[in-house]
């Protein structure tokens, strides 16, 4: 019996049939494979009316061959030519076009997805203020506590720090850095909903950032932009938060006809806040897991992302999942992998096995993101990205953070205590040094 076609078989099968049917130059320069939102395949050919007529037999052959895809066949019109589209440039010059390889042949691929596009859209805009993201595949690994501690240490060293809580679906950083009576009137979610109806006025941005008392009497300061505002008098908790949250992910049409994506809106929020607050450094507390908020933060916005890993099978497996996605698209992966740094989180105080962690981390990077990927241009070998196991500056080489009972139940009022400050200093020392080095760059 013939094997049933499943999701993961489709792309390779399409690549094989296109390699067989299409002349090299047409496949390379005039073909885009679209995977629609159901993983069904549409082939776009850059043919005008005359070329379409001339190549009708070829088009029919592809249409027929695509029927082999079974449930992933779109039916008639599975091949469209440029002349069949209103604005063919939107599709042939689409910013989301990726390149995938099958047997050393490069094929242009346009992934149409409901979510998750940003995992493969590395940032292109240059900016001057360094942005550091703190990400974890699983929650509960001390990520937000670390953001608070690093903000504290940076402010102590004289830096103006701007902290964003991008963990919009389980916010909490603000309550760690600010007592509730100091929390600002608005949060990120307020900005997003008001912006979608062009209702953002200057004061909203200013009313989103609150100074943390942690930095009192320090040369630097900490400004916090929380996920939610504390606008309701008396109650302080915004009863509309979920209603707002459920509306923020839409892409929004702009006056010039462009569609602004969710992650681009987040980036614009960061840029506008940077203009208004003029910090020395931006820290972003990311949402955990494979969410658009994390993709936007790590891939689109941050210059450097700290990946928090706990030494558990589920944590390693999670990162393998994410890295393997990047690995399929070398051009994008080559940009992204340069901005990653592993943090070994929640190290048990006694009997921890740091060496196996390093081995595991090295294996993760070596097998997926290191030399297995070239920049796509084999004539430029120097672009190959490779580190030995014991190179401390390498992305895989972990920065350790010890698990600490006291710090795990940590909030703003405990910062006043000098013992706490000492504890923060010693526990986050290596990470703080790495952050300082990045800022010096």
Residue 431: enclosing H or E segment and its boundaries?
Answer: helix 429-440
Place of tokens 């943090």: 343
Q: Given the complex with another protein, which of 265 and 300 has the nearer CB atom?
A: 265
Does position 242 interact with another protein (CB under 8 A)? The reply is no
Q: Which of 251, 274, 411, 429 binds another protein (CB under 8 A)?
A: 251
Does position 38 interact with another protein (CB under 8 A)? The reply is yes
Residue 191 CB, shortest distance to another protein, in Å, is 17
DSSP 304-347: EEEEEE-SSHHHHHHHHHHHHHHHT-HHHHHHHGGGEEEEEEEE
Choose among 153, 140, 291: nearest CA to 215.
153
Q: Which of 180, 237, 243, 259 binds another protein (CB under 8 A)?
A: 259
Q: Which stretch binds another protein (CB under 8 A): 20-28, 38-46, 291-299, 371-379?
A: 38-46
Q: Which stretch binds another protein (CB under 8 A): 107-115, 227-235, 353-361, 367-375?
A: 107-115
Does position 10 interact with another protein (CB under 8 A)? The reply is no
How many chain residues are in contact with another protein, going by CB under 8 A? 25
User: Using an 8 Å Cβ cutoff, are 123 and 111 in contact?
Assistant: no
Q: Given the complex with another protein, which of 180 and 250 has the nearer CB atom?
A: 250
Q: Given the complex with another protein, which of 73 and 100 has the nearer CB atom?
A: 73
Q: Given the complex with another protein, which of 1 and 37 has the nearer CB atom?
A: 37
Q: Given the complex with another protein, which of 25 and 77 has the nearer CB atom?
A: 77
Residue 164: enclosing H or E segment and its boundaries?
Answer: strand 160-165
Q: Given the complex with another protein, which of 263 and 305 has the nearer CB atom?
A: 263
Q: Given the complex with another protein, which of 96 and 303 has the nearer CB atom?
A: 96
Could you give the CA distance from residue 306 to residue 154 in angstroms, rounded to a whole number? 16
Q: Which of 42, 299, 333, 431 binds another protein (CB under 8 A)?
A: 42
For 167, 278, 366, 437, the CA distances from 209, given in Å and listed in that order, are 16, 12, 41, 27
DSSP 251-298: -EE-TTS-EE-HHHHHHHHHHHHHHHH--SEEEEEPPSSS-HHHHIII
Which residues, in sequence order, are bridge partners of residue 73?
41
Question: 80-99: which residues touch another protein (CB under 8 A)?
Answer: 85-87, 90-91
Q: Which stretch binds another protein (CB under 8 A): 36-44, 117-125, 325-333, 368-376?
A: 36-44
Q: Which stretch binds another protein (CB under 8 A): 110-118, 173-181, 272-280, 430-438?
A: 110-118
Q: Given the complex with another protein, which of 94 and 157 has the nearer CB atom?
A: 94
DSSP 187-231: -HHHHHHHHHTT---HHHHHTT-EE-GGGTTSSSEEEEE-SS---
Strand order of the β-sheet with 304-309 is 210-211, 221-225, 160-165, 281-285, 131-136, 304-309, 340-347, 399-402
Could you give the CA distance from residue 28 to residue 92 in angstroms, rounded to a whole number? 12
Q: Which of 257, 313, 349, 351 binds another protein (CB under 8 A)?
A: 257
Does position 125 interact with another protein (CB under 8 A)? The reply is no
Could you give the CA distance from residue 196 to residue 129 in angstroms, rounded to a whole number? 26
Which residues, in sequence order, are bridge partners of residue 259?
253
Does position 36 interact with another protein (CB under 8 A)? The reply is yes
Residue 218 CB, shortest distance to another protein, in Å, is 43
Question: 46-75: which residues touch another protein (CB under 8 A)?
Answer: 74-75
Q: Which of 129, 204, 252, 271 binds another protein (CB under 8 A)?
A: 252
Residues ≥6 apart with Cβ < 8 Å to 429: none
Q: Which stretch binds another protein (CB under 8 A): 23-31, 255-263, 363-371, 379-387?
A: 255-263
Six-digit token pair at 304?
């450097």
Enumerate binding residues for another protein (CB under 8 A).
34, 36-38, 40, 42, 74-77, 85-87, 90-91, 110, 112, 114, 250-253, 255, 257, 259
């Amino acid at each position: 019996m013939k094997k049933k076609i499943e999701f993961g078989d489709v792309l390779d099968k399409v690549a094989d049939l296109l390699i067989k049917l299409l002349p090299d130059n047409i496949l390379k320069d005039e073909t885009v494979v679209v995977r629609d939102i159901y993983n069904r395949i549409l082939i776009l050919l850059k043919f005008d009316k005359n070329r379409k007529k001339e190549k009708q037999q070829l088009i029919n052959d592809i249409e027929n061959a695509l029927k082999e895809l079974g449930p992933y066949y779109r039916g008639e019109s599975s091949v469209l030519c440029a002349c069949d589209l209103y604005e063919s440039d939107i599709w042939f010059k689409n910013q989301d076009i990726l390149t995938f390889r099958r047997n050393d042949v490069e094929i242009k691929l346009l992934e149409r997805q409901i979510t998750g596009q940003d995992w493969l859209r590395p940032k292109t805009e240059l900016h001057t203020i360094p942005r550091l993201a703190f990400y974890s595949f699983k929650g509960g690994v001390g990520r937000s506590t670390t953001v608070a501690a690093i903000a504290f240490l940076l402010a102590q060293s004289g830096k103006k720090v701007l902290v964003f809580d991008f963990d919009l679906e389980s916010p909490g950083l603000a309550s760690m850095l600010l007592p509730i009576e100091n929390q600002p009137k608005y949060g990120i979610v307020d900005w997003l909903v008001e912006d979608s109806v062009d209702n953002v006025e200057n004061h909203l941005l200013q009313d989103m950032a609150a100074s943390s008392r942690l930095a009192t009497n320090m040369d630097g300061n900490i400004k916090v932009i929380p996920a939610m505002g504390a606008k309701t008098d008396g109650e302080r908790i915004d009863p509309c938060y979920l209603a707002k949250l459920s509306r923020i992910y839409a892409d929004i049409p702009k006056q010039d006809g462009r569609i602004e994506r969710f992650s681009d809106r987040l980036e614009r929020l960061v840029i506008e806040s940077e203009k208004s607050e003029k910090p020395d450094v931006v820290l972003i507390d990311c949402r955990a897991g494979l969410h658009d908020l994390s993709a936007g933060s790590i891939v689109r916005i941050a210059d450097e992302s700290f990946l928090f890993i706990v030494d558990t099978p589920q944590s390693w497996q999670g990162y393998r999942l994410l890295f393997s996605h990047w690995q399929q698209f070398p051009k994008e992966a080559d940009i992204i992998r340069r901005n990653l740094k592993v943090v070994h989180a929640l190290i048990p105080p006694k009997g921890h096995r740091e060496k196996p962690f390093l081995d595991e981390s090295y294996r993760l990077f070596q097998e997926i993101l290191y030399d297995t990927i070239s920049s796509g241009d084999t004539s430029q070998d120097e672009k190959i990205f490779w580190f030995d196991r014991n190179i401390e500056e390498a992305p895989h080489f972990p920065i350790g953070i010890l698990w600490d009972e006291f710090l795990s139940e940590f909030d703003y009022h405990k910062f006043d205590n000098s013992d706490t400050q000492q504890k923060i200093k010693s526990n986050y020392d290596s990470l703080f040094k790495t952050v300082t080095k990045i800022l010096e760059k």
